[in-house]
Structures are given as C-alpha cells and as structure tokens.
C-alpha cells in the first residue's frame, strides 16, 4: 500500500527541542499533526514512526523523542499528495510549526498544532473518510451561491467577442497555475490592451504568477490569430456548435494550449458546457475520496478523460446534483470559495 498519512501526537508540556537543521525550536503543550507520504510501503513507514530504535533522519524523528504518538490516519493514493493533505489540515488547525517537514516543497509547514485532540474533531475525520451526507449538507449551504455563479456564466455569451476571448486566455493559463493568479494576469493584459494587439514577447512580463509564461503567451497569440477574421476576434462565430462535446473536441484539436480539461473549463465559463467535467486536481482528488475512481491518474489521455467524466456524470445523477454544480461544490470544498 502507498499513500499519504497524518500522525497525531501529544506533547504534555511546553518544550524546547533541537530539530535537525531547523535548530532549537519552542513547542507548546498540545496536539501536533505531522503529514507525510510513503510511495513504496505505507505500513512500514507507520511502523518506523512507532519504533523507538531508529536513526534520526526526518524532522519528525527528533520530535518523536519527546512527543507521544496517539494515533494516525492514512489515505491510499498513488500520487504524492502530502502537500494537499497538509493544506486541508492547516485550514482547521490552531497553529503550525514553520518549515517543519517541508524543506523540499513550498508548504509553510507539515506539522500542524491543535489545542485539542483532532482525532475527536468531525472536521478532521471528514478529510480521511468523507460521508455523502456531509457533501449534501455542504451543497445545501452553497447551492444558492453556486447557482448564482452559473447564471453569471450563462450571461457571458452575451458579452463582446473580446470578453469571450479573454476567458479563453484565462483557461489557456490555468494548467499548473491557480485560477486566481491566472485571472489577475489576464486582467492586467486586458487593461494594457496587449491581450488583443500585443506580441507574445510583450505579454510575458504581465503573466506574473503564471507558470511557463513564455509558452502560454505564444499560445494566446496563436489562438488570437486563429480566431480572428480581417483583424477582428470572432470566437463566438467560430465555435457555434450545437453539441458541447464536439465543440470541446474542436477546441482541443485547434487551439494550442487547450486540452479536454481547459476546453471544458472555457465552455462552462461561457455557459455552453455545464454537462462537461473539468477534471483538474481538485476535482480528481474528490472523485477519489468519494470512491468514484481509485486513484488520481498521472496522465489523462482523451480516452481516460472520457471514462472518468462518465463516472462523474453517473455519480452526479445518483446524488441529484447537476454536473456544473457538483464541480463548483468540489472546487469550493478544496479552495474555500466559489470562483471559476
């Protein structure tokens, strides 16, 4: 078995400890959750943490010389997603130990502090074993906001061509980049006018926060050239298809930088693809958690994408939450808000 895990430990008094390369650190009395991963043998990794006879190698090894292990939770998953787990636990923790256990990633910490035992907290246990009833409760609480957002997407089709094109550019930028960062970058490009008239070299410095900005700037210019007639952008005329699935396929084939995920995202955001799945990492992780798929795939071929999309559609029908609403519900469960 391979996967990610969380060790729950207890420190019965305030202590100062020397933690490897981090040096001397002060720890408060209370409970600590350490997040890790084991991509070969999860069971042996847990056994090692419980063992008293081991060589100190990780930060947690030094910490466990003083703290008592009170339990653990694990998720069987084939991808190394400990940073995702650390973020979920951080959202409900009381504090964290800066840079602990995460010197090889961008997380703030992989050791979260709790005043009381997290194993007795419903919000903590839901991370590892979510219940369908919890998802339905979350849907009831967010349904109005989700429906309002989808209504805004439907109104997008009435917007000018340049606004539709900007949404396409937003989706081109999203691979391996947060939606918020992409939205800010495209907003900057719109304000300068470079998005509609500039060269790719001119765009790069405005794509701050977007990964692979040079490539994505080229994709944007290529898309603009392909979707323009006599100098005018004509996205709506070019994609006037009655079948969203065929439209998605056409976009993925003809617009460099768009795969099935990005094309689905674009069509949903302009009100034309509410029955399509946007299989980004947030959605895929939730599909694993609710048993719809066994693991997050390392790569998504068109064939595999359609297979997972069909499973998500079946799940959507079974719980009576429309696909687009389920997508935004999953997304908000991961990020805390309903964006796009």
Cα–Cα distance, 114 to 26 (Å, whole number): 15
Cα–Cα distance, 109 to 59 (Å, whole number): 11
Q: How many other CB atoms sit within 10 Å of the CB of residue 237?
A: 11
155: Cβ contacts below 8 Å, ≥ 6 apart:
271
Cα–Cα distance, 135 to 204 (Å, whole number): 40
* 280 belongs to the catalytic site: yes
- Nearest CA among 123, 121, 141, 135 for reference residue 289: 135
* 134 belongs to the catalytic site: no
* Distances, alpha carbon 46 to alpha carbons 30, 69, 75, 101, in Å: 21, 11, 12, 16
260 burial (CB, 10 Å; 0-12 / 13-18 / 19+) is buried
Among 216, 218, 261, 340, the active-site one is 261
Among 183, 216, 218, 280, the active-site one is 280
Which residues are marked as active site?
Answer: 261, 280
């Amino acid at each position: 078995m391979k996967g990610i895990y969380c060790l729950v430990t207890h420190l019965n008094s305030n202590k100062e400890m020397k933690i490897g390369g981090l040096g001397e650190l002060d720890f408060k009395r209370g409970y600590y959750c350490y997040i890790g991963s084991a991509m070969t043998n999860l069971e042996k990794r847990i056994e090692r943490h419980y063992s008293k006879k081991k060589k100190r190698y990780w930060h947690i090894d030094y910490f466990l010389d003083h703290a008592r292990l009170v339990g653990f939770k694990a998720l069987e998953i084939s991808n190394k997603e400990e940073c995702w787990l650390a973020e979920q636990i951080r959202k409900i923790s009381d504090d964290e130990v800066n840079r602990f256990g995460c010197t090889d990633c961008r997380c703030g910490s992989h050791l979260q502090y709790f005043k009381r035992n997290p194993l007795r907290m419903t919000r903590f246990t839901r991370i590892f074993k979510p219940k369908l009833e919890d998802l339905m409760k979350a849907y009831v609480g967010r349904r109005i906001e989700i429906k309002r957002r989808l209504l805004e997407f439907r109104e997008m089709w009435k917007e000018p061509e340049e606004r539709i094109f900007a949404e396409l550019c937003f989706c081109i930028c999203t691979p391996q980049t947060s939606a918020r960062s992409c939205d800010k970058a495209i907003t900057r490009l719109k304000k300068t006018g470079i998005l509609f008239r500039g060269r790719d070299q001119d765009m790069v410095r405005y794509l701050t926060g977007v990964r692979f900005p040079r490539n994505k700037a080229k994709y944007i210019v290529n898309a603009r050239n392909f979707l323009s007639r006599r100098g005018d952008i004509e996205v709506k005329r070019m994609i006037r298809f009655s079948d969203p699935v065929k439209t998605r396929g056409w976009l993925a084939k003809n617009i460099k930088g768009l795969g099935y995920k990005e094309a689905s995202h674009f069509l949903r955001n302009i009100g034309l693809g509410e029955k399509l799945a946007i299989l980004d990492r947030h959605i895929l992780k939730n599909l694993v958690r609710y048993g719809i798929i066994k693991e997050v795939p390392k790569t998504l071929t068109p064939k595999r994408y359609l297979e997972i999309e069909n499973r998500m559609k079946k799940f959507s029908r079974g719980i009576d939450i429309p696909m687009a609403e389920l997508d935004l519900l999953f997304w908000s469960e991961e990020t805390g808000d309903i964006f796009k």
